Amino acid sequence: MPVRNQVKPDTILKTFWKNNQRFADLFNTVLFEGNPVLKPNDLQEVDTDVSSIIKFNGHAETVQRILDVVRKTAYGVDFIIWGLENQEKIHYAMPLRHMIGDSLIYLKEYNEIAAKIEKKKNIVHRMNFYQR
């Protein structure tokens, strides 16, 4: 009886593109005409779960997105999020899905930075209180 493989193409592609050298080579080839602008050592892995709660005018809604491969590069205070989604078939809504995913990534980054700033404010406020 032959052994059946239970290998999913999506998992193979995710594993393949998690290699920073391959990831950088793809973006350098497609976006920068083969020039080595994006350096593998500059890439930082980012959590692929960008699920979030979106609140607006008293309404809240949860949105769940899990992306295939996401990296971040930071240049001082500027950073760039690089994402890669694998697909087997043409999906005409993919640009919209990418925009939503990108927005959720930036929302997550914003919330993390805002929480750090708020924490610093609370620490400074407590320090000033105790110095009186």
pLDDT along the chain (132 residues), means of 10: 74 90 96 94 86 79 82 82 83 84 80 86 64 54
**Residue 96 in tokens:** 């919209």
* Angle between the N-to-C axes of helices 9-17 and 20-31, in degrees from 0 to 180, rounded to the nearest 10: 90
pLDDT in tens, 68-93: 888 989 877 777 888 888 888 888 98
Confirm if 51 and 106 have CB atoms less than 8 A apart. no
Placement of tokens 């350098």 in the chain: 28
**Cα–Cα distance measured from residue 104 to residue 63, given in angstroms and rounded to the nearest whole number:** 9
- Cα gap 59→87, rounded to integer Å: 33
Q: What is the pLDDT of residue 1?
A: 64
Helix, strand, coil % in the chain, rounded to nearest 5: 45, 20, 30
pLDDT per residue as tens digits for the range 114-124: 888 888 887 76
